[in-house]
Amino acid sequence: MSRPLILVSNDDGITSKGIRVLVSVMKKLGEVVVVAPDSPQSGMGHAITIGETLRLYEEEIFEGVKAYSASGTPADCVKLAKHYVLKDRTPDLVVSGINHGSNTSISVLYSGTMSAAIEGALEGYPSIGFSLCDYSSKADFSHVEAWVEKIATQVLERGLSKGVALNVNFPPKQNEEIKGIKLCRQADAKWQEEFSERFDPNGRKYFWMAGNFVNFDKGEDNDEWAIANNYVSIVPCQYDLTAHHAISRMNKDWDWEYLKK
């Protein structure tokens, strides 16, 4: 059997430390092709590039690995990989990251890292987004490499349910070793923004957005709890957003006579 084909992307950009670590682990498991943004794309959510052109350049960054930088978003990178770089070859695995910073809870919505993984999932490829809950560009990834390898190996061997991508978060490096893996649901939490109001040299007002994370979740089966307790969190994520429970409720509660044409 030929070696698995593994597509690697991220949202911190092709020169970040996190993607170097991810590529080095994936090289043990298969043939690696990298298509990643040429600049940081944090907070890009599932953005794609419409109405603007895209650039794609071959890069010699990772030894023995075909690599391309793209001018677009993480989701663009997966699309370019599928339709232009890989063409008739189908990846056995799509991995994104390792993100410098947490993508637990509601951050999955804003996450460029996860958008690459979800884009992979909707093409039918087993896909994983990896994030380390440490925002430093020089973050220590040494304690997570073995976990990345194990989780990727499981996905290569066992596959994933249709329409599902894994959101994997790792606790930051601590004195104590990581305790293990928790399969989790997305925690009920959100960002509480603050806008810092300033004036430019021309006297015109501008804003910086900053956020404080607020966790409402008291459960122990969610990703926030797992990270806080030094476990790896894995949340399987779906891109079918339908809230089926709300359909039932609306069928019952709404005034359908009034809503007739």
Site for a copy of itself in 72-111 (CB under 8 A): 75-76, 79-80, 82-84, 106, 108-110
Q: Report the amino acid identity of residue 72.
A: G
| Total binding residues toward a copy of itself, as defined by CB under 8 A | 85
Q: Residue 21 Cβ, how far from a copy of itself at the closest point, in Å?
A: 19
Which of residues 67, 133, 151, 152 is near a copy of itself by CB under 8 A? 151
Structure-block tokens of residue 6? 């593994």
Q: CA-to-CA distance for 19 and 124, rounded, in angstroms?
A: 23
The conformation of residue 241, written as its DSSP 8-state character, comes to -
Q: Select 158 or 218, whichever has its Cβ closest to a copy of itself.
A: 158
Q: 86: closest CA among 8, 16, 11?
A: 8
Q: Does 181 bind a copy of itself (CB under 8 A)?
A: yes
Binding residues among 18-47 for a copy of itself as defined by CB under 8 A:
40, 42-47
| Residue 15 in contact with a copy of itself, rule: CB under 8 A | no
Instruction: Report if residue 243 touches a copy of itself, rule: CB under 8 A.
Output: yes
Under rule CB under 8 A, residue 172 binds a copy of itself: no
Rounded to an integer, what distance in angstroms lies between the CA atom of residue 240 and that of residue 232?
A: 25
Return the number of the residue (51 or 64) whose C-beta is nearest a copy of itself: 51
Q: Least CB distance from residue 224 to a copy of itself, whole Å?
A: 13
Binding-site positions for a divalent metal cation: 11-12, 42, 99
Q: CA-CA distance, 229 to 177, in Å (whole number)?
A: 11
- Residue list, annotated binding site: 11-12, 42, 99
Question: What 3-state class would DSSP assign to 212?
Answer: strand
Minimum Å gap between C-beta 63 and a copy of itself is: 25
Judged by CB under 8 A, the chain residues 199 through 228 that form the site for a copy of itself are: 204-209
Give the angle 190-101-13 at the CA atoms, nearest 5°: 120
Residue selected from 49, 86, 145, 173 as contacting a copy of itself according to rule CB under 8 A = 49
Helix (H, G, I), strand (E, B) or coil at 105: coil
Judged by phi (left if over 0) then psi (alpha if -120 to 50, else beta), residue 9 lies in: beta
Distance CA 227, CA 240 (A): 26
Backbone dihedral angles phi then psi of residue 228, each to the nearest 5 degrees? -60, -25
Nearer Cβ to a copy of itself, position 62 or 111?
A: 111
Which one of 60, 63, 88, 193 is in contact with a copy of itself (CB under 8 A)? 193
Between CA 174 and CA 183, with CA 177 as vertex, the angle to 5 degrees is 105
